[in-house]
Amino acid sequence: MTYELPAPKGPMRDVALQGGFLIGFSVQALFGLVSAILRRRLSLHETVTQTLFIGRVSTGPSLLLMIPIGVFIAVSVGELAGRIGAGGYSGAVVAFIIVGQAAALVCALMMAGVAGSAICTDLGSRKIREEIDAMEVMGIDVVERLVAPRLVGAVIVSLALCAMVTFGGVIACYLYHIYVQNLPAGTFMATFSQYGRMSDFVMALVKASIFGLTSTLVATFKGLHAKGGPRGVADAVNEAVVIAFALVFIVNTALSALYTVMVPAVGSY
């Protein structure tokens, strides 16, 4: 297939056109990924290379972002809980906020803003250098060769990042609870274990993997459809980051509402 979009004929029509092409590309990419795995045509070398690349550019910023977020949550919660005499319940709040929401969203921001921009830049550069067209002329499936390994790598890195970010955020809040608020560690751990459920962590991993998949689909779509030289690549990267951010928050709202319906809150059963 040729990765070209029709000329826009107005803002609204352009949004509808790109939305439709993005949905079609996502379906094609997911089917191509499943087909490559079942037919054992997925490039292991490319998958490992992309996984290491995405992990290298995302791990450091994710941890550096999550630690101040964890401290900010600890400070805010500690001050509010101290005013109402509920300082011992900081572990419960950490379980709700960091494990339930913040960790997956931090992974989403990193995958969309850091890894997604790198993927879009790489594919966009190949597109304007006509490498994508050359691969098509040689009969190479671009989705199978370039998109599928990046999708697998993004999911793997998202799962690992979510686990590391959750651990880092909880540790930051735990240390603040002990050494700054001078509260006993037992109260933090008791409320954290009482309100922090394994299902919340599993849901955070599911969210992180879906966010990583969504961000990578948008980044690969915009990269493969870039045009207009280096400026077109830069525009494609900016558009990919903005679209990925918007889709991530929409998907997060839907998944959070679905999880609330499927899994009752603590104390309601």
Q: pLDDT digits over 41-100, tens only?
A: 888 898 999 999 888 888 888 777 777 776 776 667 666 666 666 556 666 677 777 777
pTM of the full structure: 0.86
pLDDT number for residue 147:
92
Asked if the structure places residue 134 within a domain, the reply is yes
Query: CA 266 to CA 194: how far, in whole Å?
Result: 8
Asked if the structure places residue 192 within a domain, the reply is yes
Do the Cβ atoms of 122 and 50 come closer than 8 Å? Answer: no
pLDDT number for residue 266:
59
Q: Is the dihedral of CA 222, 109, 122, 220 positive or negative?
A: negative
Domain that holds residue 92: 44-260
Query: CA 70 to CA 176: how far, in whole Å?
Result: 9
pLDDT number for residue 221:
92
Cβ burial of 17 (10 Å; 0-12, 13-18, 19+) is middle
Longest alpha-carbon distance in the chain: 70
Domain count across the chain:
1
Do the Cβ atoms of 226 and 128 come closer than 8 Å? Answer: yes
Asked if the structure places residue 19 within a domain, the reply is no
Q: Is the dihedral of CA 229, 147, 45, 55 positive or negative?
A: positive
Q: How many residues in the chain?
A: 269
pLDDT number for residue 69:
72
The C-alpha torsion from 162 through 118 and 116 to 153, rounded to 10°, is -50
Asked if the structure places residue 269 within a domain, the reply is no
Residues of the chain with pLDDT under 70: 1-4, 6-8, 10, 70, 73-75, 77-92, 195, 264-269
Q: Which of 69, 75, 110 is nearest to 90 (CA)?
A: 75
Asked if the structure places residue 38 within a domain, the reply is no
pLDDT number for residue 149:
93
pLDDT number for residue 81:
62
Asked if the structure places residue 16 within a domain, the reply is no
Asked if the structure places residue 27 within a domain, the reply is no
pLDDT number for residue 219:
92
pLDDT number for residue 257:
84
pLDDT number for residue 215:
92
pLDDT number for residue 220:
93
Do the Cβ atoms of 155 and 50 come closer than 8 Å? Answer: no
Do the Cβ atoms of 221 and 124 come closer than 8 Å? Answer: no
Query: CA 211 to CA 182: how far, in whole Å?
Result: 37
